[in-house]
Each structure stands twice: as structure tokens, then as C-alpha cells.
Structure 1
Amino acid sequence: MLPAFPRFNTRLGAAIAALALAGCASHPAVVPSAQWPAQLESALPTDVLLLGEQHDAPDHQRLQRDTVQWLAARGRLAAVVLEMAERGHSTAALARDATEAQVQSALQWNDAAWPWSAYGPVTMAAVRAGVPVLGGNLPRSAMAAATQETRWDNHLAAPARQQLLDALQDGHCGLLPATRLPAMARVQIARDASMALTAQEAVRPGQTVLLVAGGEHVLRHRGIPTHWPTNLTSKVASALTDKAQAATTTGADIVVTTAPLPPHDACEVLRLPN
């Protein structure tokens, strides 16, 4: 069975995000993970820092925790916005010494979709620093309505929209009926809009909002930044496990390269005969 909403095949989604729009934007700075978060200084000041990840790469979640700690230690972290929790949920009312159970309850954490073992460290790093963690994703209860929101069909320029449709198809192993793609694209764009609004509301003068999401969501030309007003400043950092991809990545200002993951065909199970 295919997923009910577009959480990408992480390997394919990362590859497509990396190779998209080649030649249409300047190449980003490429740095190894050992130079992060020291490289953060080059991205500041900015209202929002978007940190894109590959969901199955533990090194990327460690980068997120390190980023939180680096910004918080300098008093520069306004809030952390997570794709992994729904908009409307927040730790703002919790004390720094809140338990992990209290934090998960406040964020209405869905461990089946987003393992707490992966994202707990970055979340708790923010809580311990006294920084609010905000759910940014479109609530699941709003997904069905989003599939009917035709206004999103014209949100992106035609080339970027086609790239999004291609990414959705490839990220689902090429097995989606073409007729499903427009509705899935509306949900994807609505999710980006939800995260963008959450981050925009959290902006504070002299500080930076850290927004953590999958690599496809953070791309400047077709992701979350397309929903912001022109007076909001942002920087996009994408974490990638493939240095070859980094050479052609666009839609990001900085690429952080991490160790390759073991070879794995995430589509294999979907290709097996019933």
C-alpha cells in the first residue's frame, strides 16, 4: 500500500532534491559535517535558518541537535520549528526541566511516523535551553481538505511545479497513478505553507528561528521559502549523504555532507508481487 500522504522515500527524495534545477541557481557552499556548526556564522544573521535532512540519516539529526546547542549558547535561537509535529502544538508552556514524556505530550508526538529516538535529542536540547519547540506541519485532519485546494495549483512557477510532481512520483518509486499527483502536490505545498507560517510567527529581532524539515521542503525555489514575505530573511542549509550530489545541489545556500549510508533499495518491497 502506498502512503496516504507524501512523506518521501528518503533516499529518492534526497537525490531528487539535490539534482533539481541544476544550472538555474548558484552553487552553494559545500562543507563537511566536521565544520558544522562552526560554518553557521556565515549564515547569520537571518530570521530563519532552514535545515533540510534525509529522514533516515542519524548524522543529520545530530547536526540538528548541534545547531540548536550552538545557537542557544549564544542567545541567538528564537524557536525551533519541526516538520515532525503538527502546527498548533508547542512546548512554550513547559519548564526547562520538563520530562521527555511531558514534551511528547505537549507536541502530540507521533512516534510511529517520527521515532522519538531520532528527534528527541534535538527537541530536548531546545527545551533544556528554554527555547520553545513548535510543531509546524499541516495537521493530518486538514490533509483531505488540502487535496481540494486548487489555489495551490498556481503557487509555483511551471518549471518548479513540474519538478515537484516529478519528485513526488520518483519519491514514491514511480508507482503512483498520474491522476493522484495534483492532489498530492497540493498537500505538499499546503504543508510547506503551514511550516512557513509557523516560522514567520516565531521570528524575533536579533535571533534566528531554526526550521527542521525534509530536504525537499526547504528548497528555496519550490519549498517553504516560496511562502514568505519579501522582508523575511532566510538561509537554507541542506544535509546530504552523497558528496557527488552536493556538487549539483541548488535551492540551498549551504550543503553539509555527512557519511554515506549503506546501500538500500527502499522501493524493493513495493515492487514485490502480491
Structure 2
Amino acid sequence: MQTPGLPVAAPGRGALAKAVLALGALAALAALTGCAANPAADTTADSARGWGRQIDALLPADVLLLGEQHDAPEHQRLQRDTVQRLAARGQLAAVVMEMAERGHGTTGLPTSATPAQAQAALQWNDAAWPWQAYGPVVMAAVQAGVPVLGGNLPRSTMRAAMQDTAWDAHLPTPALQRQYTALREGHCGLLPESQIAPMARIQMARDASMAQAVQGAMQPGKTVVLIAGAGHVHRSMGVPTHWPASVRAQVVVARAGASAPAPEPGDADTVLETAAAPARDACAELRQQWQAQPTPRPPADATRP
């Protein structure tokens, strides 16, 4: 990825740093994309109760994919409620999170483990993913004796993913073009066209990483909960494209407010509308960020969607 006004580097160390910076910037804008409308939305006051009923209607399932807006606190509260509800019934196999890298997890921690111990086990990056937001979700699982597993692509493998052109053939052309469009729009048109395909490869590799983590945690008769940005759970171009049709999955997309874009038909089984997130001009924030970084460096939140 490139800061506006700088030349585009050929794929390599510099290009990776710029693409990784773009991933971090996209994370800052993730709340503006990847969500959908629900014709029978719950209000903030009774969303937890209404969501509980929807969970019951979605099960049984091998996997329950919860797509969120990262800046919508109500989405993290609903995730915690989901974890607690399934764990209390003995139905929760594991929680897989985009917010930690694959290979790290809380397996083996006692139910009395502290938040600090859970963060250490997950190698949690608080600068990228505020523990204040996601800690209650993690600890609900830990205290129930259910493992929390990182699902994200390890940062050390991003360069290889960006340069692996085999990913270009993973999605059908219409879905791939939607992925490209999401990257362009998510960066307010500031991303150089030469970086679109490399960044899409990283996104697909991240989806594949999460899919592998989920499949490794599946147990007969139980459900794995995957928590990720809404765009990662879409059926047509996200995590579900990386596992066999035999996996029984239910996709839930949460939408904070009426202005969020809608997913393609069939991309979600359930859409949950919640209160709008605080208003912000994310494109202005992005422009300011890039202008302040004439020499792009990988940010702390580079693994966000």
C-alpha cells in the first residue's frame, strides 16, 4: 500500500509494509462496511433477550459465525451473551477470534485464570484490539472452561500471502470483484490500484486461516463460535468459502445503524440491527493518518480487516 503522493513500490519488503499499513487503515474503516439490514431489528434495550431467541433458532450448527462492526460495543456484548448461553448448555466447543493470531490460545488455562494470563496465552495486541472491548468475551469462555483460539493469519506469513497469485483464482470472478471493490471503498479511493490484488490475497489467506482454526476446533454435537469482522463471514467471499459444504454453518451479520452497507443476498442467514455507532468521518481520519506518515510503517493494528 502507498501513502498518497508516493510512488508504488514493486512487490517486496516496501510493498508489504504498505499493504500491511493499508490493512490497518481498512480496520479503522471496517465499521463503515460489511453489514446488513434486518427487517425485524431488536432495539438496544431488549437486544440481548431477542438475540437469545435467535441463537436458539439457529442451532444446531457446527459453526456460528458472528460478523461484527469493530466500533460497535453492543456487538461485543452480544458475542459475550452468545458465549455464555452456549457454554451454560454445554454446547460450546470453542471460540475462534480474528483478534488473535492462529497458533495462540487459552487451551489449558484454568477457569480461575486472570485476564492477564488470558492475554498472554493469546499474545493479545491491545493496541490493535482493545481488551476493554473483547476481554469480557474471552473471559466468559475461559471461566466456562472453553478454549479461545486465535484464527488470524500470522503476520510473519503476510508477505508470502501477498505474493501468492494462486489466491487470485480462489473466488469466482463476481465475488473477487466485490472483494476488490470493498478494498477500494474501504480506503476511500486512496489505495493505489496496483495494491488491490495483493491486499485481496492477504484477506483471502486470513479467511483461510480462520477456517482452518474453526475446523480444528469442531466437536460432534457442539458449536464453534467464530468472531470476526462482518466482511470475513460473508458466504460468497469470506471464511465459508474455505471449508467443505458438509460444515453446517450459520452466518450472522450485525449492523450498527441504518447507514451501513448491506451484504449480497445469501451472504448471511441472519442480520441483526443494533444501535448506530458514534458518527465519524473515517475517510478524513484516513487521509490525515497517511499525510502524517510520509514513510509508511506497519501499524500495530495491521492484522485487522
Question: What TM-score, normalized by structure 2, do the two folds share?
Answer: 0.82
Distance in 2 (CA, whole Å) between partners of 1:30 and 1:144 is 43
Which amino acid in structure 1 is aligned with residue 170 of structure 2?
H
Deviations 1:55-110 (A, max 9, x none): 01111110110000011111110000000000000101100001111111100001
Distance in 2 (CA, whole Å) between partners of 1:138 and 1:247 is 26
Q: How does 1:251-270 map to 2 (within 5 A)?
A: 251-270=267-286
Distance in 2 (CA, whole Å) between partners of 1:210 and 1:180 is 32
Which 4+ runs in 1 deviate beyond 6 A?
none
Distance in 2 (CA, whole Å) between partners of 1:11 and 1:142 is 22
CA contact 1:43–1:235 (8 Å) conserved in 2? yes
2:120 counterpart residue number: 105
Which amino acid in structure 1 is aligned with residue 249 of structure 2?
S
Deviations 1:130-181 (A, max 9, x none): 0000000001111111101111101001011011011011111211000001
* % identical aligned pairs: 57
Over 3 Å counting, the alpha-carbon distance change for 1:247 and 1:30 in structure 2 is: farther
CA contact 2:165–2:201 (8 Å) conserved in 1? yes
The DSSP-based 3-state class of the residue aligned with 2:199 is helix
Q: How does 1:76-225 map to 2 (within 5 A)?
A: 76-225=91-240
Which amino acid in structure 2 is aligned with residue 266 of structure 1?
A
Over 3 Å counting, the alpha-carbon distance change for 1:247 and 1:177 in structure 2 is: closer
- 1:263 CA displacement: 1.6
The DSSP-based 3-state class of the residue aligned with 1:147 is helix
Distance in 1 (CA, whole Å) between partners of 2:74 and 2:25 is 19
Structure of higher CA gyration radius: 2
Over 3 Å counting, the alpha-carbon distance change for 1:255 and 1:7 in structure 2 is: farther
Which amino acid in structure 2 is aligned with residue 42 of structure 1?
A
Structure 2: 5+ residue stretches without partners: 4-17, 293-305
| Bigger Cα displacement from structure 2, 41-50 vs 30-39 | 30-39
Question: What TM-score, normalized by structure 1, do the two folds share?
Answer: 0.91
Provide the alpha-carbon RMSD of the alignment.
Answer: 2.1
Aligned residue pairs total 267
Structure 1 residue 72 and structure 2 residue 87: aligned? yes
- 1:243 CA displacement: 3.8
| Bigger Cα displacement from structure 2, 256-265 vs 208-217 | 256-265
Structure 1 residue 53 and structure 2 residue 65: aligned? no
